[in-house]
Amino acid sequence: MAQLIADRRDIDFVLHEQLEIEKISKHERFEEFNKKTIDLIVSEARNLANKELLPAREQGDKEGCIFEGGKVTVPESFHHAYNLLVEGEWIAMTEDPEWGGQGMPRTIALAAGDYFNGANFPLMMYPGLTHGAGLLVHEFGSEKQKKLFLKKMFTGEWTGTMLLTEPEAGSDVGLLTSTAAKNADGTYSITGNKIFISGGEHNLTKNIIHPVLARIEGAPAGTKGISLFIVPKIWVNDDGSLGEFNDVVCTGIEEKMGIHGNSTCSLTLGGKGKCRGLLLGEENKGMRAMFLMMNEARLLVGLQGLGCASSAYLYAVNYAKERIQGKNLLQMLDKDAPPVPIIQHPDIRRQLLTMKAYIEGMRSLLYYVGYCNDMVHIAENEEEKAKYQGFIDLLIPVAKGYVTDRALEVCNYGIQIYGGYGYIKEYPMEQLFRDCRITTIYEGTNGIQAMDLLGRKLGMNSGKTMMDLFAEIQKVYQRAKGVSSLKELAAKAEDALNTLGKVAMHMGKTAMSPDVMKAFSFAYPFMEAAGDVIMSWMLLWRASIAAEMLGKDAPKKDVPFYEGQLKSADFFVNMVLPVTLGKMNAILSNSGAVVEISEASFGG
């Protein structure tokens, strides 16, 4: 079981050899996180994930959540696992110990989360959303609000959610109709209906703290008039004790394709006129505040996708080594040749190597975003801080959108390798695929991530952020060119990067022209192309390190791992990037078919 969630050797490689994360302990903020401490944290996370979280995954899927009389009961197996997360102080790993956190670097927290989400991400949605909601209180709450809510949330005694979506206001949040009327005591009476609320009602904790978007009476229309409120399920008195039920009623839960162990709720606020909330931050600044949680949430969704994909890959590798079927192709004419493990068949190896390359690239990307977050905190000057923050903002749409698309593809390959067994519930693949599917939809569909990349991120700082990122990528390509076995691969990857630069300029100009609709019809292919180039960056970075280690007579036990890094980069650059170049040429062709076809021509 130990290797069926995430490969410890790969995690150690990214942390210590690629990012050299232990160097972060030279800074006062993270001085206690030396290599020994980091390795201990990852080991503890791995043990908890394997021994407690993973067994609850299948049980949680089978039991699901039960809705009865406005109450939701989560799978029994989740209670013990959640309590262990609370006891281990895993809910708010990166936050200040004063409020119940561990003060951990984000990169290390992502490594722990890699194991946790790979083991059981439907369970991890409860603490994940709680941490995100707590961040809102930490960043925008008054001192009184922090004292009332923050430690209870960061320690996991209470959970949190995010109440945005309404029946007529899904991705277009500005259409929401929930209202807030100010009361004489400074609280607000909240009225509205919210849907698709993950963890909106459950029996894991005594209280649930809901950050709620609503419009104060008389506020402007659209997103400019939205405010953010703290709405507890059970009212919290000024002394911190629990008061009366706060008229937040669960009216039902969704029967979903996957993530059965997580309650996806419809909530009615103020149906009896007794729902109260506290303004969080300033009036009409709710969307601005919520975007703080968005980066956190979207990175978490990328990690969820990686977790499913990583687990699917490791199951598939083990299965391919054990499943005996068919002769080796080199012995097909030998009637006495024995059947062999399917890992010897070229097409199975192609699928496994595709899975391997994507997982390695995705893990490096997500950890790199975490690393940038850590560098923002310890940057020596504002310019350096702004650079790393820019990288985070630019990469988040790729870390969520591209990563979850590829993660679902990896899970699909896993089903294919298992054959018919992959399609049935007796084996883990079908659940991994079902659970992974939601990651491409929530926290902003992947189409929205592509629009965000084109519409908001591409031109950030007049394009400087994109150019700074290209410069970082070029550093890796120059390093790879210094390795004879990687020189040709680096040249091909550099060609793709240069082409991406041309495409980015084309997209930027088109988006600012009367052809704006045409530009956005290519937003998704552009995100895919950008993601492929970023994968080649990460894989060549990894391959450069591996080649250098092999040149230094690496320990015998590490040789297969390092050789595997070279093959991942070789495969991706030679097999995937040519397709990427084709996509980019298609974008430059500027076809108007998508926007020019009439609605009638779609039929239906």
Residue closest to 453 by CA, chosen among 503, 384, 379: 503
Q: Is the predicted pLDDT of residue 173 greater than 90, yes or no?
A: no
Name which of 464, 474, 580 is nearest 528 in CA terms.
Answer: 580
Q: How confident is the model at residue 187 (pLDDT cuts 50, 70, 90)?
A: very high
Q: Return the structure tokens found at 167.
A: 């029946």
Q: Tell me: the pLDDT tens digits for 510-569? A: 999 999 999 999 999 999 999 999 999 999 999 999 999 999 988 999 999 999 999 999
Rg of the chain on CA atoms, in Å: 25
CATH number at residue 188: 2.40.110.20
* Residue 603 included in any domain: no
Residue 523 CB contacts under 8 Å (≥ 6 apart), including other chains: 447, 450, 451, 453, 454, 455, 507
d(CA 540, CA 43): 27
How confident is the model at residue 554, as a pLDDT?
Answer: 85
**Rounded CA separation 168/13 (Å):** 46
Do both 262 and 170 map to the same domain?
yes
Separation between Cα atoms, residue 389 and residue 377, nearest integer Å:
10
Q: Is the pLDDT of residue 282 over 60?
A: yes
pLDDT at residue number 294: 83
DSSP states of 469-510: HHHHHHHHHHHHHTSTTTHHHHHHHHHHHHHHHHHHHHHHHH
Residue type at position 350: R
Cβ atoms 331, 433 nearer than 8 A: no
pLDDT score recorded for residue 87 = 97
* Angle, alpha carbons 298-582-532 (nearest 5°): 30
pLDDT digits (tens, 9 = 90+) for 13-68: 999 999 999 999 999 999 999 999 999 999 999 999 999 999 999 999 999 999 99
Question: The tokens of 164 are what?
Answer: 């945005």
Residue 553, pLDDT score: 84
Residue 241 has pLDDT above 60, yes or no: yes
**Residue of 363, 377, 396, 472 whose CA lies nearest to 12:** 363
88/212 same-domain check: no
170 and 125 inside one domain: no
Tokens of 74: 């989560």
Are both 164 and 149 inside the same structural domain? Answer: no
Question: What is the pLDDT at residue 168?
Answer: 80
Place 3 in a pLDDT band, splitting at 50, 70 and 90: low
In-domain check, residue 201: yes
Give the model's pLDDT for residue 2: 41
The partner residues of 66 in beta bridges, in order of sequence, read 73
The residue among 324, 356, 363, 362 whose CA lies nearest residue 343 is 324
Domain end point (choices 229, 255, 284) = 284
Domain span including residue 119: 17-64+76-154
How do residues 318-332 score in pLDDT, each as one tens digit?
A: 999 999 999 999 998
**Domain presence at residue 380:** no
In sequence order, which ranges of 94-193 are alpha helices (DSSP H)?
Answer: 106-140, 143-145, 151-154
Q: What is the pLDDT of residue 175?
A: 84
Set 22, 166, 443, 528: catalytic member? 443
Residues 97-117: tens digit of each pLDDT: 999 999 999 999 999 999 999
**Residue pLDDT, tens place only, 390-421:** 999 999 999 999 999 999 999 999 999 999 99
Query: 113 and 217, same structural domain?
Result: no
Pairwise CA distance, residues 301 & 136, whole Å: 18
Domain identity same for 28 and 128? yes
Q: Which CATH number goes with the domain that contains 149? A: 1.10.540.10
Annotated catalytic residue 52: no
Q: Quote the pLDDT of residue 174.
A: 76
Q: Are residues 49 and 131 in the same domain?
A: yes
* Contact (Cβ atoms closer than 8 angstroms) between residue 118 and residue 359: no
* CA pair distance 366, 297, nearest whole angstrom: 13
Q: Are 111 and 99 in contact (CB under 8 A)?
A: no
Q: Which residues pair with 268 in a beta bridge?
A: 193, 249
Task: Give the integer Cα–Cα distance in Å for 322 and 421.
Answer: 14
495 has a pLDDT exceeding 60 = yes
Q: What is the mean pLDDT of the chain?
A: 95
Q: Does the pLDDT value for residue 8 go beyond 80?
A: yes
For 110-142, the pLDDT digits (tens) are 999 999 999 999 999 999 999 999 999 999 999
Inside any domain, residue 570: yes
pLDDT beyond 80 at 171: no
The per-residue pLDDT for 5 is 92
Element (H, E) at 227: strand 226-232
* Residue 23 and residue 150 in one domain: yes
Asked whether residue 534 is assigned to any structural domain, the reply reads yes
Paired sense of beta strands 188-198 and 264-269, if any: antiparallel
Cβ-contact 567, 350 below 8 angstroms: no
State mean pLDDT over 214-240. 95
Question: What whole-number distance in Å separates Cα of residue 442 and Cα of residue 421?
Answer: 29
Residues 6 or more apart from 149 whose CB is under 8 A from it? 134, 137, 141, 158, 209, 230, 232, 236
Q: Is the pLDDT of residue 274 over 50?
A: yes
Q: How far is CA 307 from CA 21, 37, 225, 253, 329, in A?
A: 21, 23, 37, 25, 34
How high is the pLDDT of residue 291?
A: 80
User: How many separate domains does the chain show?
Assistant: 3
Is 498 in contact with 582 (CB distance < 8 Å)? Answer: no
- pLDDT band at 1; cut points 50, 70, 90: very low
Instruction: Verify that 38 and 150 share a domain, yes or no.
Output: yes
| pLDDT digits 0-9 by tens, 479-494 | 999 999 999 999 999 9
The reported pLDDT for the residue numbered 476 is 98
- Report yes or no on 88 lying in a domain: yes
Cβ-count burial 74-100 (b if 16+ within 10 Å, e if not): bbebbeebbeebbeebbbbbbbeeebb
